[in-house]
């Protein structure tokens, strides 16, 4: 496959040794966007973590740490985010869930509450995602306020909106596991029409939706939401390249459904604690991990992801420190080449030590056509990697910055490099 066949936006937003040195990202601190969106004028219901429906919502994207530096305080969340910029927002419809009034809500992260945007009865958003009948349970909608990320990462930010959104989907998957629920991700719906319905202008757009519930036979009535537009960033600079990339990747082509469900075998109480404490590791002490654990992690990454558009993804692993395993590069379980590539892996990750000092550095790639779906899938796999590594007592960090073409040369594969991650001790 030649590079020309890949999504144009991806080709235009590659990092290289040259681009990093000649076009450094300069931050305009006067135009820094805020990271929390709040619908002040609507009724709010604070989440009570002891209630299982509320707990399910809390574990998707709740706050779990506060950092204080002189003059600055900021919050961290269950889900990681490139540069801690959190471009995504979560909306949901709730129908027949205990302790939650039927309605369309925004998940207000800063106050950890649900904001009721509209009550529903026989009406609902099901038709907006292609269903004629009511769904009992939840329908989630993930959006991006892209300027939160493009403020720092400029044109490359659309990649991070999708990856971070994928992490939220992964977080939702983990919360479904905790609360014994099944999910189905929907990528193929009329996102533009839903953007209008939520009164988004060009600053915010939907990128995926998730059904966590049961499709019933009861007919549903389509309705207008009539909600106010709320400023979720305070500053906004339009970015034509990102808006074009979004529009150009809306149409789903030759989607392959994945009906199978994933299976995980975590102890639920221990896993809950891991989700709550998840952090990105900031440096490794260069100790090895066990081979059985590495294979266990690979199994988890390869579990199915239930969705209406399952794109093929390849997982490359640079083995730096895994006991009883030779050093080298794997593609899944297949050995590609032997050798000590730790320095090269660090260099490829924009000279970040995380890529060099890890036990394993991963590169997630795809040659697929449905860019929004495949990129969010990479984020889901990244989230599984964080939780699986943390569960086994190891650290993990996402790495969104790498020299795209040089990674391809190293992997000996003309492909789209979507994400790098490192795990270790
Ligand atoms: C898509 C993505 C890309 C990231 N890229 C990097 C990176 O290149 N280097 C790095 O040190 N951390 C990276 N991180 C980690 C973030 O900095 C981290 O998630 C954020 O600061 C929040 O901290 P937490 O994960 O501990 O909650 C990345 C995270 C994500 C989700």
Question: Do 289 and 341 lie in a common domain?
Answer: yes
Share of the chain above pLDDT 90, in %: 93
Q: Is the CB of 76 under 6 A from ligand 1?
A: yes
> Could you tell me if residue 270 is inside a domain?
no
**Token pair belonging to 163:** 């990856």
- Has residue 2 got a pLDDT over 80? no
232, 248, 264 — which closes off a domain? Answer: 248
- Has residue 25 got a pLDDT over 80? no
Half-sphere exposure of 317 (CA within 13 A, CB side): 25
Residue 182, classed as helix, strand or coil, is coil
CA of 25 to the centre of ligand 1 (A): 17
Q: Which of 35-49, 57-71, 348-362 has the lowest mean pLDDT?
A: 57-71
- Has residue 196 got a pLDDT over 70? yes
CA of 78 to the centre of ligand 1 (A): 12
- Has residue 32 got a pLDDT over 90? yes
DSSP E strands: which ranges in 128-239? 133-145, 184-186, 204-219
Per-residue confidence band for 220, with pLDDT thresholds at 50, 70 and 90: very high
Q: Considering only CA atoms, which residue is closest to atom 30 of ligand 1?
A: 82
Residue position matching structure tokens 């379980």: 333
Question: Do 232 and 300 lie in a common domain?
Answer: no
Please report the pLDDT score of residue 76 as a whole number.
Answer: 95
Question: Do 297 and 207 lie in a common domain?
Answer: no
Question: Average pLDDT of the chain?
Answer: 96
- Has residue 214 got a pLDDT over 80? yes
Q: Is the CB of 279 under 6 A from ligand 1?
A: yes
Give the residue, out of 399, 407, 423, with the most ligand 1 atoms within 8 A of its beta carbon, to mutate for a pocket test.
399
Question: Do 299 and 150 lie in a common domain?
Answer: no
Ligand 1 atom closest to residue 382's alpha carbon, by position in its atom list? 31
Per-residue confidence band for 1, with pLDDT thresholds at 50, 70 and 90: low
Q: Which runs of consecutive H residues, i.e. helices, occur in 266-414?
A: 268-277, 291-301, 342-348, 353-357, 371-391, 404-411
Q: Is the CB of 355 under 6 A from ligand 1?
A: no
CA of 7 to the centre of ligand 1 (A): 25
Per-residue confidence band for 4, with pLDDT thresholds at 50, 70 and 90: low
Q: Is the CB of 153 under 6 A from ligand 1?
A: no
CA of 420 to the centre of ligand 1 (A): 11
- For residues 347 and 355, give the distance between their C-alpha atoms in angstroms, rounded to a whole number: 8
Number of domains in the chain: 2
> Could you tell me if residue 409 is inside a domain?
yes
Give the mean pLDDT of 281-302: 97
Question: Do 233 and 293 lie in a common domain?
Answer: no
- Has residue 296 got a pLDDT over 80? yes
Give the mean pLDDT of 330-353: 96
> Could you tell me if residue 2 is inside a domain?
no
Half-sphere exposure of 64 (CA within 13 A, CB side): 19
Q: For position 236, which CATH number holds?
A: 3.40.109.10
> Could you tell me if residue 269 is inside a domain?
no
Please report the pLDDT score of residue 5 as a whole number.
Answer: 83
Give the mean pLDDT of 123-133: 97
151-167 pLDDT tens trace: 999 999 999 999 999 99
- For residues 393 and 228, give the distance between their C-alpha atoms in angstroms, rounded to a whole number: 45
Question: Do 43 and 144 lie in a common domain?
Answer: yes
Question: Do 375 and 419 lie in a common domain?
Answer: yes
> Could you tell me if residue 142 is inside a domain?
yes
Q: Considering only CA atoms, which residue is closest to atom 29 of ligand 1?
A: 82
Please report the pLDDT score of residue 72 as a whole number.
Answer: 81
55-75 pLDDT tens trace: 999 999 999 998 888 888 889
- Has residue 111 got a pLDDT over 80? yes
248, 272, 301 — which closes off a domain? Answer: 248
Question: Do 177 and 288 lie in a common domain?
Answer: no
**Cβ atoms of 230 and 143 closer than 8 Å:** no
Q: Is the CB of 376 under 6 A from ligand 1?
A: no
Ligand 1 atom closest to residue 402's alpha carbon, by position in its atom list? 8
- Has residue 3 got a pLDDT over 80? no
Give the mean pLDDT of 44-65: 96
Terminal-residue alpha carbon distance, the chain:
37
> Could you tell me if residue 15 is inside a domain?
no
Q: Which domain holds residue 348?
A: 281-424
Q: Is the CB of 250 under 6 A from ligand 1?
A: no
Residue 254, classed as helix, strand or coil, is coil
Q: Is the CB of 398 under 6 A from ligand 1?
A: yes
Question: Do 295 and 405 lie in a common domain?
Answer: yes
**Token pair belonging to 330:** 């794997």
Please report the pLDDT score of residue 26 as a whole number.
Answer: 82
CA distances from 111 to 19, 37, 43, 45, 414 (A): 40, 10, 13, 9, 45
Q: Is the CB of 84 under 6 A from ligand 1?
A: yes
Ligand 1 atom closest to residue 81's alpha carbon, by position in its atom list? 31
> Could you tell me if residue 314 is inside a domain?
yes
Give the mean pLDDT of 394-421: 98
Give the residue, out of 62, 67, 78, 81, with the most ligand 1 atoms within 8 A of its beta carbon, to mutate for a pocket test.
81
CA of 55 to the centre of ligand 1 (A): 25
Give the mean pLDDT of 376-402: 98
- For residues 208 and 140, give the distance between their C-alpha atoms in angstroms, rounded to a whole number: 8
Q: Is the CB of 81 under 6 A from ligand 1?
A: yes
Ligand 1 atom closest to residue 167's alpha carbon, by position in its atom list? 31
Q: Considering only CA atoms, which residue is closest to atom 26 of ligand 1?
A: 279
224, 248, 272 — which closes off a domain? Answer: 248
Question: Do 104 and 233 lie in a common domain?
Answer: yes
CA of 285 to the centre of ligand 1 (A): 18
- For residues 383 and 416, give the distance between their C-alpha atoms in angstroms, rounded to a whole number: 19
- Has residue 346 got a pLDDT over 90? yes
Question: Do 80 and 229 lie in a common domain?
Answer: yes
> Could you tell me if residue 359 is inside a domain?
yes
Please report the pLDDT score of residue 333 as a whole number.
Answer: 85
Give the residue, out of 20, 156, 280, with the most ligand 1 atoms within 8 A of its beta carbon, to mutate for a pocket test.
280
Report which DSSP code applies to 357: H
Give the mean pLDDT of 194-206: 97
CA of 217 to the centre of ligand 1 (A): 43
Question: Do 287 and 388 lie in a common domain?
Answer: yes
371-391 helix and 268-277 helix, angle to the nearest 10 degrees = 110
- For residues 108 and 39, give the distance between their C-alpha atoms in angstroms, rounded to a whole number: 8
Give the mean pLDDT of 25-35: 90
Q: Is the CB of 206 under 6 A from ligand 1?
A: no
CA of 399 to the centre of ligand 1 (A): 6
Question: φ and ψ at 18, to 5 degrees?
Answer: -70, -50
């Amino acid at each position: 496959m030649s590079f020309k066949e890949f999504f144009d936006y991806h080709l235009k937003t590659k990092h290289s040794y040259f681009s990093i040195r000649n076009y450094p990202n300069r931050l305009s601190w006067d135009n820094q966007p805020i990271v929390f969106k709040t619908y002040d004028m609507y009724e709010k219901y604070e989440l009570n973590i002891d209630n299982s429906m509320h707990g399910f919502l809390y574990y998707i994207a709740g706050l779990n740490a506060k950092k204080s530096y002189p003059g600055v305080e900021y919050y961290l969340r269950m889900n990681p985010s490139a540069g801690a910029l959190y471009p995504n927002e979560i909306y949901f419809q709730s129908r027949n869930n205990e302790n939650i009034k039927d309605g369309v809500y925004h998940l207000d992260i800063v106050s950890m509450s649900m904001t009721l945007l509209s009550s529903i009865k026989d009406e609902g958003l099901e038709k907006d995602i292609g269903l004629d009948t009511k769904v009992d349970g939840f329908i989630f909608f993930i959006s991006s306020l892209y300027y939160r990320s493009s403020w720092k990462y400029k044109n490359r930010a659309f990649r991070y909106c999708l990856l971070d959104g994928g992490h939220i989907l992964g977080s939702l998957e983990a919360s479904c596991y905790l609360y014994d629920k099944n999910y189905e991700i929907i990528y193929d719906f009329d996102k533009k029409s839903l953007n209008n319905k939520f009164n988004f202008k060009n600053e915010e757009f939907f990128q995926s939706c998730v059904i966590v519930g049961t499709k019933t036979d009861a007919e549903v009535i389509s309705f207008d939401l009539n909600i106010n537009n709320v400023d979720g960033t305070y500053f906004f600079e339009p970015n034509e390249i990102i808006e074009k990339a979004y529009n150009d990747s809306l149409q789903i082509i030759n989607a392959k459904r994945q009906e199978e469900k994933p299976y995980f075998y975590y102890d639920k109480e221990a896993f809950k604690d891991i989700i709550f404490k998840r952090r990105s590791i900031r440096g490794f002490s260069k100790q090895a991990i066990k081979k059985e654990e590495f294979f266990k992690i690979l199994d988890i990454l390869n579990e199915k992801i239930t969705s209406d558009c399952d794109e093929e993804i390849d997982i490359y692993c640079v083995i730096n420190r895994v006991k009883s395993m030779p050093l080298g590069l794997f593609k899944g379980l297949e050995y590609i080449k032997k050798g000590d590539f730790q320095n090269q892996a660090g260099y490829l990750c924009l000279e970040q030590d995380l890529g060099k000092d890890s036990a394993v550095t991963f590169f997630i790639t795809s040659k697929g056509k449905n860019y929004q779906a495949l990129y969010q899938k990479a984020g889901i796999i990244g989230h599984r990697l964080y939780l699986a590594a943390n569960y086994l007592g190891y650290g993990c960090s996402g790495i969104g910055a790498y020299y795209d073409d040089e990674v391809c040369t190293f992997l000996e594969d003309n492909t789209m490099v979507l994400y790098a991650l490192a795990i270790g001790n």
